[in-house]
Amino acid sequence: MICLGIESTAHTFGVGIVDERGRVLVNERATFTTESGGIRPYKAFEHHVLFAEFVLKNALQNSGVKLSDIDLIAFAQGPGLGLTLRSGAVMARTLSKLLKKQLIGVNHCIAHVEIGKQTSGFKDPITLYVSGANTQILAFAAGRYRVFGETLDTGVGNFLDNFGRLLGLGFPAGPKIDELAKLGKNYIPLNYTIKGMDFSFSGILTNAEKKIKDEREKNNGKISDTFLHDICYSVQETVFAILTEATERAIAHVNKKEILLTGGVAANSRLQVMLASMAKDRGVKFKVVPRELAGDNGAMIAYAGILAHKAKVTQSKQSLAAPRRFAALETKDTAIIQDWRTDQVNAVWVK
């Protein structure tokens, strides 16, 4: 069985093709970026509309898979930005109708987890899922991926992007902060906000903003290289220590033996080192999703589609549990679900 997966929850329009054994045959994408400033939903939507056909064509050409070889169409049904989600949903519905193949809507967050399980070989991990809009500590219990801890405001990726914007780093800023932080030497104290198993980043952002303002006042409106390196270093040390602490607490509570790091921010070198060292101390295994599958991509959607399909999940059954705000405007069962939570999905394929 071959599944074509479409990703369009935010900045990336991706098409991936995966076979029944979970092998990625191709993983093409086009990502909306900016030189400065953040992501504007309408701009990202325009980008996706412009690139959708090109990405699909590349996926087919580079894999040698023909449209007629495809058995299943999966698409990211939520959570995400309404406009961008729709760009992928429209392509998915069209392909499904034209090819007369079944359509399956996938929860994007769960796709990040499942692709991490597939590549790591982990069966029952505690997952730290860190991306732009989401930051959750997840573990499977009683039929669903339960949230053991999560951000109370923005995802850590969006936090890093917003922090980067204060320094004019453009979007996405995460990878640039990762590099600049390596040159930092002096820790600038910042708030450390962890509340039980949950955490929040907006206070840290305000805190960092104030430090940047002070630096500009001292330095004729400019930011010195030393300060730039030190503030990136300090921000990373603070927020990644928070995430590591919450993950450590979760693993102590649930007594699992594996820690999986997945989502776009999983590519961060410092976060990987911190978690690896905590896992070593606790005597548990630790693995990170490969970089090419860390950020948003179509292959993870296709893979999650295959898992659901094999477990006999059908579109009309699974989306009943979730709220559908715009259902009347779209094909009923395939309406996008902007706020579809990880723990609303019955993960019947997990054994």
Positions touching Fe ion (CB under 5 A) are 131, 296
CB of 338 to ligand ATP, least distance (A): 11
Q: How far apart are CA 119 and CA 240, in angstroms?
A: 23
CB of 323 to Fe ion, least distance (A): 20
Q: How far apart are CA 23 and CA 117, in angstroms?
A: 13
Q: CB-based contacts of 100: which residues, under 8 Å, 6+ apart?
A: none
Q: Order of strands, edge to edge, in the sheet holding 2-7?
A: 24-31, 12-19, 2-7, 72-78, 102-107
Q: What is the CA radius of gyration of the chain?
A: 20
10 binds ligand ATP (CB under 6 A): yes
Q: Which of the stretches 59-67, 221-229, 265-273, 304-312 binds ligand ATP when contact is defined by CB under 6 A?
A: 265-273
CB of 294 to ligand ATP, least distance (A): 7
Q: Which of the stretches 18-26, 58-66, 169-177, 244-252 binds ligand ATP when contact is defined by CB under 6 A?
A: 169-177
Q: How far apart are CA 206 and CA 334, in angstroms?
A: 39
CB of 92 to Fe ion, least distance (A): 17
**Is the CB of 161 or the CB of 296 nearer to Fe ion?**
296
157 binds ligand ATP (CB under 6 A): yes
Q: Which of the stretches 57-65, 127-135, 241-249, 299-307 binds ligand ATP when contact is defined by CB under 6 A?
A: 127-135
Inter-CA distances, 7 with 61, 162, 164, 305, Å? 18, 23, 25, 12
CB of 260 to ligand ATP, least distance (A): 14
Q: Which of 3, 60, 70, 133 binds ligand ATP (CB under 6 A)?
A: 133
**Is the CB of 295 or the CB of 298 nearer to ligand ATP?**
295
Q: Which of the stretches 46-54, 98-106, 132-140, 304-312 binds ligand ATP when contact is defined by CB under 6 A?
A: 132-140
Q: Which of the stretches 54-62, 171-179, 193-201, 319-327 binds ligand ATP when contact is defined by CB under 6 A?
A: 171-179
Q: Which of the stretches 150-158, 184-192, 197-205, 302-310 binds ligand ATP when contact is defined by CB under 6 A?
A: 150-158
Q: Are 156 and 243 in contact, with CB atoms under 8 Å apart?
A: yes
80 binds ligand ATP (CB under 6 A): yes
Q: How far apart are CA 304 and CA 324, in angstroms?
A: 21
In the list Fe ion, ligand ATP, none, the entry touching 155 (Cβ below 5 to 8 angstroms by class) is: ligand ATP
In the list Fe ion, ligand ATP, none, the entry touching 319 (Cβ below 5 to 8 angstroms by class) is: none
Q: Which of 152, 186, 158, 153 is nearest to 174 (CA)?
A: 158
Q: How far apart are CA 274 and CA 261, in angstroms?
A: 11
CB of 292 to ligand ATP, least distance (A): 11
CB of 159 to ligand ATP, least distance (A): 8
Q: How many residues does the chain have?
A: 351
298 binds ligand ATP (CB under 6 A): no
CB of 23 to Fe ion, least distance (A): 21
Q: Which of 174, 184, 298, 305 binds ligand ATP (CB under 6 A)?
A: 174
Residues near ligand ATP, by CB under 6 A: 9-10, 80, 108, 112, 131-134, 155, 157-158, 160-161, 172-175, 178, 263-265, 267-268, 295-296
